[in-house]
Amino acid sequence: MKKIARWFGRCKIKDQIRTAIIALAVFSTVLLGVLSYFLSKHIIERNYQEDFSYNLEISDEITDIQLNNIIELTRNLLVNPSFMSVFKESGTNKNKDFSSTQRHTLESYLGRIATQETLIGEIIVLDNTGKLYTYSANSGESVSYHIQNVLETSWVKEMNEADGKEVFYGQNILNPDKNRGMVSMGKLLVDPGNYEGIGYMVVNIRQKIFEKAFGSTHRANQSVSFMVVDDKKHNSIMYFRGNEEDQEQIEQEYFRGSGFGNQFVFASVENDPTGWKMVSIIRKSELTRDSNVIGAIIMGIILMLVILGFYISRFISGKIYEPLRKLENTIEEVGEGNRNITEEFDSSEVGQIGNKFKQMVNNNLELRERLLSSELKERESELLLLQSQINPHFLYNTMDSLYCMAVIHEADDMAQMVDALSRTFRLSLNKGNKLIKVADEVAHIKSYMEVQNFRYNNRFELGLDIPGELDDVYILKFILQPFVENAMYHGLEPQLGKGSIQVGAVREEEKIIFTIVDDGVGIADLSVLEKGYGVRNVRERIALYYGEGYGVRFDSEPGVGTKVTVTVGLSYQEGVIANEKSSDR
């Protein structure tokens, strides 16, 4: 690199300009080409995902229509007295088999359902004593039998927990190894008279339901595959259509997630009733064919631009070098003591302008810095002037007057709210200090929650677990309340019913770790929290005051809640951090 720099320095100015222009043209065009190539690949993949997400939504709707038909047929049985009476009668005797009359009734109704819906492969009913009856739609045969401890199986417990709602499984729950072409739908049979469970029904549905759904989104492209995944219960592939040789690698990449070296692109849609994910897959190589063509075109353009840049740079460098050559001659003449300016001296003014311009730039930079500093000081002075015009005592006295009036008029709720608001305002100002005791910050949170509960009719509960040894420790003020406010507005307020916020603290060596935990709706994308002004403000203040090793961390799970961890330094007294104190000793 040094040799190149020395060679470049020995070149004439016109050669330096020419070389610089060519190098800049090559670099910029190559960079633009590479960016364009990868951007085109990204756009093609994104367009594929958007396109197939739309197609998968259509497949999802087709699946819903077919499932809803099956669900409606099974629900009709719940309002059929003859069908329900079988389970009422069977549940009261200890026989290990249904009676012939009961079997005839079950065969009649279950056979009718299987005939109406060809996607049903098998229907199994179970009473509360463990007796089972199976009707096979394939053969039209029915079997009545008894399985010991069947009522203790996990799927029976899940149906009881669902309390009459349909539960879906990605396999045949009775014979998972026998009928791989089936998926199961089960539900608890609830007596409409007393709303008690009197039996269970399992409908084994043929996987042809997915063939019908994916048939509308099939493409001639041989690398496109489709699959249905049961992420929630079994984390396995229920159905796969495509090149079976790629299935193992597709499974590995799908469950591993996106990463470097993946050969497939996935698009998915979740089915609401079942929780299954419907996924389409395509090889990246199929998508990048167009981008490879684009890359070849870009390389051709780069080559042409380099050639064109060479001739342009030659022309420009000549134009630039000519006045500089004249300027050089003029400077040499002036250096030799020639003060006789001729008409050709007009071009020598470039040298004088260059020197004046350099001097002017330096002067302008200095003047600009002074002007900017002056403007900042002026702004600070205006801000301090505005702040000095606010009289906190006036607000305190006004709130005290409101509190007294509320007490006089026996408006206890209003008095309580005004008192809480007054305490919140006093603690927020903190006499202008940027540090506050932990006990005062906790009191601030209590007052804030008291005001909010007055508004929301006591919907929110606040739990505190702060060791007493930390009460007199100083921390930056207003670093916990913003997260309590976020937990209330974004975690608890959107959900129905009451919610709770738990604020805790623990000391670890020379640090204090605060936690704010809510049991609200949670959030999937934590980056949304980072965009808030309050979060950025707290992060910046902690970084400026405490330095590295301190800050804020978020953990959240949708439907469970959010946890915020705030780590600050331990201050023995106002304005002195623990590590600073130890270093002084």
Tens of pLDDT, residues 39-81: 776 777 677 767 778 888 888 888 899 999 999 999 998 888 9
Q: Is 1 contained in some domain?
A: no
241 and 266 inside one domain: yes
CB crowding 485-522: b at 16 or more within 10 Å, else e: bbbbebbbeebeeebebbbebeeeeebbebbbbbbbbb
Q: Is 547 contained in some domain?
A: yes
Q: Is 574 contained in some domain?
A: no
Q: Which amino acid is at 410?
A: E
Res. 471: pLDDT tops 70:
yes
User: Which pair of structure tokens corresponds to residue 522?
Assistant: 């949670």
Q: Is 401 contained in some domain?
A: no
Query: Model pTM greater than 0.85?
Result: no
What is the pLDDT at residue 388? 42
What is the pLDDT at residue 37? 66
Among the residue ranges 176-190, 217-231, 368-382, the one predicted with the least confidence is: 368-382
124 and 261 inside one domain: yes
What is the pLDDT at residue 534? 79
Q: Is 409 contained in some domain?
A: no
55 and 109 inside one domain: yes
255 and 302 inside one domain: yes
Res. 376: pLDDT tops 60:
yes
Q: Is 326 contained in some domain?
A: yes
Res. 18: pLDDT tops 50:
yes
> What mean pLDDT is predicted for residues 168-194?
84
Among the residue ranges 266-270, 345-349, 522-526, the one predicted with the least confidence is: 345-349
Q: Is 396 contained in some domain?
A: no
- Can you tell me the distance from the alpha carbon of 172 to that of 174, in angstroms, rounded to the nearest whole number? 6
Res. 481: pLDDT tops 60:
yes
71 and 138 inside one domain: yes
CB count in 10 Å sphere of residue 245: 7
Domain boundary among the residues 285, 308, 331 is at 331
53 and 187 inside one domain: yes
Q: Is 271 contained in some domain?
A: yes
CATH number of the structural domain spanning residue 83:
3.30.450.20
Domain boundary among the residues 309, 331, 353 is at 331
378 and 512 inside one domain: no
317 and 344 inside one domain: no
- Can you tell me the distance from the alpha carbon of 438 to that of 474, in angstroms, rounded to the nearest whole number? 6
138 and 239 inside one domain: yes
55 and 189 inside one domain: yes
CATH number of the structural domain spanning residue 504:
3.30.565.10
**61 backbone dihedrals φ, ψ, rounded to 5°:** -65, -40
> Range of 344's domain?
339-388
CA distances from 211 to 69, 180, 222, 223, 240 (A): 17, 15, 16, 17, 10
Tens of pLDDT, residues 108-156: 999 899 888 889 989 999 988 888 899 988 777 778 777 778 888 888 9
352 and 218 inside one domain: no
Domain boundary among the residues 331, 357, 378 is at 331
Tens of pLDDT, residues 406-454: 566 666 666 566 665 566 555 555 455 678 889 988 988 888 888 888 8
134 and 272 inside one domain: yes
How many domains does the chain divide into?
3
- Can you tell me the distance from the alpha carbon of 473 to that of 471, in angstroms, rounded to the nearest whole number? 6
